[in-house]
Structure 1
Amino acid sequence: MSLRFARRVERSPRSTRGTDRSPGFARRAGWACALLALAGCGGAVRMDPPSPEPPAAAACRALAGRLPQVLDGAERTESDPPSPYVAVWGAGEIGLRCGVPRPANMAATDQVPVVDDVAWFADPARPALFTAIGRAAYVEVTISRAHAPESVLVELAVPVKAALPQTG
């Protein structure tokens, strides 16, 4: 998403409006920063954290410490609100939530792809959403079209396997 901000500043010899000496400059700059953060153009990216049960929460905290700083070329960034159960890369291009509920539309007979020993449920209703299943916690990953899902899932397989043991 791209936002364009235009500001018309008129100056006269007697006015300091629109300059750094203006009393309202700091307030306007603060609003601009807030708008950019909300747009995902800077600062933290808004992502609602899940509320995992205690065993899943412990596994998710272990996963948080193993996640990469760079994923498929995107730098890790802060989430809003900060949470050990959420990770974001780029300007929200890749989002991970650990400790989510079992996917509601996943049937016991669904065939799921396995990437480096991690099974991923690909939600047919939401093609950018993948959920790691068969582990101590469900891990939901949303991947934008700017990234190849197979690359992202391969890179996430190592920390998922290391932090979340398989369940029976």
Structure 2
Amino acid sequence: MEERRNNFGRIEGRIRTKKLNARVDLTAMVSVSFLLIVFFMLTSYMSRPQCMDLGMPEKYDEEERNGIICILEVSDDRDMTILLGENGKIVSNWGNFSSPKEEPKVFNGNTNDLTKELRAKSQHLLDIYGDPKKGLIVLIKPSKKSSYGDLVNALDKMAITRVPTYAVVDITPEDEKLLAEK
């Protein structure tokens, strides 16, 4: 018996395959690239250092320092000295050290008492002079026993109260004596 195959109308010998056009769907790639861009933008923004500008004077040799004459006329009621001690202890002295305007006050660095004091003194000077440029001048003197965090907290309080002029200077033996007494 003869075997016959049913070709269903196809011609023998030719095999036809349907060729599909190759297409790449870029929808997923666009979504992934958008997410990567957003991710890197956010991480670069959050990795920026949070810092405060602090201008420090140059260090001079004794010979150079003797040649420099610096005269700064400031009234005693604008001058405030902040002494930083150990364990967050802060002593503030308003006025000249030899003749203070009021008795030195002791604060705890963890409270907002120093911030209130700085705001009160700044408002007092604004009422007297009427010029924000003639505001409070604060000298911050950290002792050897104070921590770096205490200094940063004091600088933060200067920024919070918007004290126009402040400086970090070396502590003198008289200041250390006052800090030890209080």
Higher helix proportion: 2
Higher strand proportion: 1
Verify same fold: TM over 0.5: no
- Structure exhibiting the larger radius of gyration computed from Cα positions: 2
TM-score interval for Structure 1 and Structure 2 normalised by the shorter chain: under 0.3
TM-score (norm 1): 0.27
